[in-house]
Amino acid sequence: MPDRKPTKREMTSARRKEAILAAAVTCFIENGYHQTGVRDIAKKADVSLGNLYNYFSGKADVLAEIARIERAELEPFLKILGKETPALDVLEEFIPAYTRFLAKPETVVLALEITLEAIREIEIADLFTESRNTLIAGIAAVLGRGAKEGSMRQMRSHPETAHLILEIMEGTAFRHGIEDVELKALLDNELEFIRAAIAA
């Protein structure tokens, strides 16, 4: 049975929800999560407060939806990690691709803002933990495969090494965003460092 075409009302509703989410991200970037109120989001989205509440129960609900979207955005990177090509080749494709994604200016600012807020509110940290753990598990699996192939060293803990690799990528992205250092040079150094750390 073919998929049903969405109605005009459903399409309008989906566009309005997207506008609210885009407005929320803009507000979080410009003013910070803590300083942003639901009224600010509604005003930025050009919707009434009541209309916003038709889609989201509050600011935390908006952030939960942003976390869900972030998980969906990870799919292309998880596909890279799932490739059956040599493990070292997989990491050498994944690391620059994911670092470029992290280094987008809006991603850097939003990630820093959410990290700061997550330190204050454990519930916010929990929203983004699942995505991070999925990535770490994927990187750890590649490291384990690389050790079996003989291209990578056997680590004391592949998940802990995966954590470190992810933190290096995040640090590279943040440095590019904050210091405006050329990303290509940072990526070259990042890859060289990680390669030297894990190669057999």
**2 confidence band (pLDDT: 50, 70, 90):** low
Tens digit of each residue's pLDDT (9 = 90 or more) over 85-144: 999 999 999 999 999 999 988 888 888 888 877 787 787 778 788 888 999 999 999 999
What whole-number distance in Å separates Cα of residue 57 and Cα of residue 53? 6
What was the pLDDT predicted at 119?
81
Q: Is 179 exposed, middle or buried (0-12, 13-18, 19+ CB in 10 A)?
A: exposed
pTM of the model: 0.84
Please give the share of the chain, as a percent, with pLDDT higher than 70: 98
What was the pLDDT predicted at 71?
85
Q: Averaged over 173-188, what is the pLDDT?
A: 88
Beta bridge partners of 199: 152
What was the pLDDT predicted at 33?
84
Instruction: Indicate if the pLDDT at residue 13 is higher than 70.
Output: yes
**9 confidence band (pLDDT: 50, 70, 90):** confident
Q: Averaged over 8-25, what is the pLDDT?
A: 88
Provide the mean pLDDT of the chain.
Answer: 90
Q: Averaged over 163-172, what is the pLDDT?
A: 95
45 and 52 in contact (C-beta within 8 Å)?
yes
What whole-number distance in Å separates Cα of residue 125 and Cα of residue 114? 8
What whole-number distance in Å separates Cα of residue 138 and Cα of residue 78? 7
Instruction: Indicate if the pLDDT at residue 59 is higher than 60.
Output: yes
> Which among 12-21, 37-46, 54-63, 104-113 has the top mean pLDDT?
37-46
Instruction: Indicate if the pLDDT at residue 1 is higher than 70.
Output: no
